[in-house]
Amino acid sequence: MSELTESARCLIIGSGPGGYTAAIYAARADLKPLIYQGMQPGGQLTITTEVDNFPGYPKGITGPEMMEQFKEQAERFGTQVRSGVVTAVDFSKRPFIVTADDGKTIAAETVIIATGASAKWLGMESEKKFMGMGVSGCATCDGFFYRGQDVVIVGGGDTAAEEATYLAKLCKKVYMVHRRGELRASKAMQHKVLNTPNIEMVWNNAPEEVLGDDNGVTGVRVRNVKTGESRDLQAMGLFVAIGHKPNTEIFASQVDLDEMNYVITKPGTTQTSVEGVFACGDVQDHHYRQAITAAGTGCMAAIEAERYLGS
């Protein structure tokens, strides 16, 4: 390990709504937080377009703009924001030791894990091209923009099923594309999906290409994995709901994770299995996954860190 170069009362790893809200509260509590922004500064919201469901923005705001404002607000109270990725942590000793890819090693009295969860994507070039222009990873966030239109959702798990039924309330028609002939979702969710008249199941199909023009998505070309036949589904939006991956690799042997590798927190708190280490936002939440809930738990984490330091 490199030589210890600095110390911090509160070190925050990750810069989505959870991390920045923790920073705002920690800075105002005089903890002089240091935040490492991580792989995707600003987090998942920086890959969306309009955010219309965050209270306080009656006219909406773009995800990247909103995250810039979170950052400004955190800095206004003295948060030190660093671009860089934390590569290793050692929570077995106190202060905790955190190493980053900028060559710094920090001795931290408290750590707030806010590294989020990344949506899994299909991996097509055209999916990347139309990201934020019709391709989305969150129906709750973006479904509203497709009111009265036809959309495609890909996936067969509980998330896809839940999002398909949500979209069906807003959209004219929802094509649910699944690579097998049977859903993975719970029986109750399957029942709901299969009994919603404007959801059309497209079984045994995998997206091949996202079709579109300068204005965004116009459809999705899918291929039947059994017959090899292709078909174009006309739609203005493609929702990818094939799962999320919590960004917890570096914490695997340091704090308790659940069977899906999300950080386990004590119910009603952000306390992890290590005292003084807290977790907020999507890295500990595979249920709500909203900016506002991440911000809420970020606030909790900072208050709990302050109390821990004062105790």
Examine residue 157 and tell whether it contacts ligand NDP (CB under 6 A).
yes
Which listed residue (286, 296, 308, 309) binds ligand NDP by CB under 6 A?
Answer: 286
CB of 272 to ligand NDP, least distance (A): 20
Residue 256's Cβ-count burial label (10 Å; 0-12, 13-18, 19+) is: exposed
If we measure between CA atoms, which residue out of 273, 297, 269 comes closest to residue 283? 297
Rounded to 5 degrees, φ, ψ at 248 are -125, 10
Among 117, 119, 220, 242, binds ligand NDP (CB under 6 A): 242
Q: How far is the CB of 259 from ligand NDP (least distance, A)?
A: 9
Minimal CA–CA distance to 131: which of 46, 58, 197? 46
Active site residue 142: yes
State the Cα–Cα distance between residues 34 and 12, nearest whole angstrom.
Answer: 6
What's the start-to-end Cα distance of the chain, in Å?
A: 30
Extract the tokens encoding 116: 């989020």
Which letter does DSSP use for residue 90 in this model? E
Site for ligand NDP in 78-107 (CB under 6 A): none
Active site residue 280: no
Contacting residue, 94, 180, 191, 307, with ligand NDP by CB under 6 A:
180
- Per CB under 6 A, the list member of 85, 107, 122, 292 interacting with ligand NDP is 122
The reply to whether 156 sits near ligand NDP by the rule CB under 6 A is yes
Return the range that interacts with ligand NDP (CB under 6 A); candidates 30-38, 98-106, 177-185, 294-302.
177-185
Of the listed pieces 75-83, 84-92, 158-166, 247-255, which binds ligand NDP according to CB under 6 A? 158-166
The catalytic position among 90, 101, 141, 232 is 141
Shortest Å, Cβ 149 to ligand NDP: 22
Tell me if 21 sits within 8 A of 291, measured CB to CB.
no
Q: At what angle do helices 63-76 and 17-28 cross, to 10 degrees?
A: 20
* 258 catalytic per annotation: no
Per the DSSP assignment, residues forming a β-bridge with 308 are none
Alpha-carbon span 140 to 157, nearest angstrom: 16
Q: How far apart are CA 29 and CA 302, in angstroms?
A: 9
Q: Output the smallest distance, CB 294 to ligand NDP, in A.
A: 16
Nearer to ligand NDP, 158 or 200 (CB): 158
Give the footprint of ligand NDP on this chain (CB under 6 A): 122, 154-160, 162, 179-180, 184, 206, 242-244, 286
Q: Which residues are annotated as catalytic?
A: 138, 141-142
